[in-house]
């Protein structure tokens, strides 16, 4: 059963009722209304958060009709639904208010008679005999500047007018939506790329239909789903953030009207995650990263236990917590990553990548909080992953490298020679396995050589410094001429020789000159 979807939550319900029941002959509307700071201008020093648009006849003493603004991207807000223009009026006054209720801008917006648009003739018949109504749609893209003091805003919208014979607004919008969906699907079958359909009249008709209706149900869900997909695909083709923001807005609207247990919900949430993540990578706005985490969590909640989809969504959530931790350095985020990866490992206990990930995130939390228990868990999970990794696996050297660091970190806490020895064993294996072409070659060899020199200074065992020298030489010989690591390797080799020389020189100071007399 269809349920009402109010396009104007901050106003009265009379608008939707009039749209549903009034017999219309000619009506004009503004749709795709977006208010924001001009793209080519510098952002204001003190940005204002917008909340409402009030629309009234010019010189009207009343407030007019109120339409809620929803932020779709930093500095841009949209009105969802259609704003009906008063009959016979060629322009309306638009007043924009902030969340605090202050007027931040106003302007007179012109109606459809000022521009040229396209006409779509659409006739619905009953039994192929008598027409129920005829619909003509003309739309014009318009944009106006609104200035209030030092604040500059831009209002863009599409203005449409409808010429009708009978029918109510909901049914007309439904028929327009069905027709547009049918044509769009046929174009896809013919091999026309999705991103190309966004430039077609069918796409505009879909956006028109979905905003003119005040209903929900399968048709509206299909229209919003199609719009979300088409806009996201065009963004991936063109990189235009406007397409991405529209896709996000349409997808969020669809999530809000879908039943809680809808089978469409998981895939839709994945699309939202993809879209917000794309915008996060582009703009680096933390609000987008927050949205990614929020919608991945929603996707995990509706995913059945077991299976690759749950693993993929948990992995995405763990990685996103980790990404936000890199931005905020907030231990709450790294703890969120830990609980997510642990949950994943509960479902997939033999997964070596999950074992390694848990070692990594515990190691990161140790770096922040310096808790010995975090270091022990990091060592436990990384060692488990290494034990379950075949010797021929290209990732083994990396696990051994981290194990070496974890034992080295613990040796500084415990002053344990055993931890130092285990650190060197792990670094030695890593140095043996890492390919010469690896960009991390220098990191591994340096860690191994420094660990050997550290134990040498502690024990004065000459075999440690000899092994450090031999290792650096072996790696240098394996590197081709011109290898970027060679200068650093030469410097490291010099350090090992210096350590041996200083040690030998120190021992000489304890000798008496007479001992060398013949």
pLDDT in tens, 359-398: 999 999 999 999 999 999 999 999 999 999 999 999 999 9
Q: What is the mean predicted confidence (pLDDT) over 173-197?
A: 82
3-state DSSP percent of the chain in helix, strand and coil, to 5: 55, 20, 25
Q: Does the pLDDT of residue 296 top 60, yes or no?
A: yes
Mean residue pLDDT of the chain comes to 82
Q: Sketch out the chain's domains with CATH numbers.
A: 23-166 (2.60.40.150), 303-388 (1.25.40), 392-507 (1.25.40.10)
Place of tokens 């613990």: 410
Of residues 232 and 320, which shows the higher confidence score?
320
Distance (Å, whole) CA 206 – CA 255: 18
| Helical residues (DSSP H) of 329-440, grouped into ranges | 331-347, 352-369, 372-387, 396-414, 417-433
Distance (Å, whole) CA 301 – CA 45: 40
Please give the angle made by the CA atoms of 475, 481 and 487, to the nearest 5 degrees. Answer: 65
Q: Is 397 in contact with 409 (CB distance < 8 Å)?
A: no
**Residue 268: partners with Cβ closer than 8 Å, 6 or more residues away:** 225, 228, 251, 254, 255, 258
**Token pair of 94 as six digits:** 């638009």
SS3 291: helix
Tell me, what's the pLDDT at 455? 92
Question: DSSP string spanning 471-494?
Answer: HHHHHHHHSPTT-TTHHHHHHHHH
pLDDT single digits (tens) 59-94: 777 778 899 999 888 888 999 888 888 777 777 888
pLDDT single digits (tens) 329-356: 999 999 999 999 999 999 999 999 999 9
Torsion of the alpha carbons at 377, 383, 384 and 387, rounded to the nearest 10? -170
**Token pair of 235 as six digits:** 């963004």
Q: Does the pLDDT of residue 16 top 70, yes or no?
A: no
| Choice among 45-59, 266-280, 443-457 with the minimum mean pLDDT | 45-59
User: Structure pTM?
Assistant: 0.77
Distance (Å, whole) CA 201 – CA 407: 65
Distance (Å, whole) CA 495 – CA 91: 80
């Amino acid at each position: 059963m269809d349920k009402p979807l109010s396009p104007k939550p901050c106003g009265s319900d009379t608008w939707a009722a009039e749209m549903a029941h009034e017999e219309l002959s000619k009506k004009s509307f503004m749709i795709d209304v977006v208010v924001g700071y001009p793209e080519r201008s510098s952002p204001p020093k003190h940005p204002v958060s917008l909340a409402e648009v009030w629309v009234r006849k010019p010189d009207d003493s009343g407030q007019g009709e109120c339409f809620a603004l929803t932020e779709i991207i930093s500095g841009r807000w949209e009105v969802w639904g259609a704003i009906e223009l008063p009959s016979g009026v060629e322009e309306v006054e638009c007043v924009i208010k902030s969340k605090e209720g202050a007027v931040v801008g106003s302007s007179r917006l012109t109606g459809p008679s000022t521009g040229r648009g396209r006409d779509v003739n659409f006739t619905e018949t009953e039994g192929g005999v008598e027409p129920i109504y005829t619909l003509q749609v003309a739309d014009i893209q318009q944009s106006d500047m609104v200035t209030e003091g030092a604040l500059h805003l831009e209002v863009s919208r599409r203005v449409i007018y409808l010429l009708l014979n009978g029918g109510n607004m909901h049914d007309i919008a439904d028929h327009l939506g069905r027709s547009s969906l049918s044509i769009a699907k046929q174009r896809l079958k013919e091999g026309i790329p999705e991103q190309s359909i966004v430039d077609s009249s069918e796409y505009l008709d879909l956006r028109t239909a979905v905003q003119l209706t005040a209903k929900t149900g399968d048709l509206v869900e299909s229209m919003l789903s199609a719009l979300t997909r088409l806009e996201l695909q065009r963004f991936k083709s063109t990189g235009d953030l406007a397409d991405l923001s529209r896709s996000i807005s349409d997808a969020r609207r669809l999530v809000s009207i879908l039943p809680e247990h809808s089978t469409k919900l998981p895939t839709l949430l994945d699309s939202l995650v993809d879209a917000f993540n794309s915008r996060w990578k582009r703009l680096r706005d933390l609000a987008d990263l927050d949205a990614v985490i929020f919608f991945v969590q929603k996707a995990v909640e509706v995913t059945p236990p077991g299976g690759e989809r749950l693993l993929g969504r948990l992995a995405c959530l763990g990685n996103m917590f980790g990404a936000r931790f890199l931005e905020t350095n907030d231990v709450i985020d790294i703890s969120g990553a830990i609980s997510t990866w642990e949950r994943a490992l509960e479902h997939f206990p033999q997964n070596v990548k999950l074992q390694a990930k848990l070692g990594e995130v515990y190691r990161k939390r140790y770096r922040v909080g310096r808790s010995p228990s975090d270091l022990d868990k990091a060592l436990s999970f990384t060692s488990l992953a290494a034990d379950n990794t075949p010797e021929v696996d290209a990732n083994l050297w990396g696990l051994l490298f981290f194990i070496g660091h974890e034992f080295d970190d613990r040796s500084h806490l415990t002053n344990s020679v055993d931890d130092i020895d285990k650190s060197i064993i792990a670094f030695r294996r890593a140095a043996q396995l890492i390919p010469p072409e690896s960009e991390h070659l220098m990191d591994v060899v340096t860690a191994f050589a420094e660990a050997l020199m550290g134990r040498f200074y502690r024990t004065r065992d000459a075999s440690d410094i000899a092994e450090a020298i031999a290792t650096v030489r072996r790696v240098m010989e394996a590197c081709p001429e011109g290898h970027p690591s060679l200068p650093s390797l030469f410097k490291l080799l010099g350090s090992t020789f210096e350590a041996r020389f200083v040690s030998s020189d120190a021992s000489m100071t304890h000798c008496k000159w007479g001992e060398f007399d013949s």
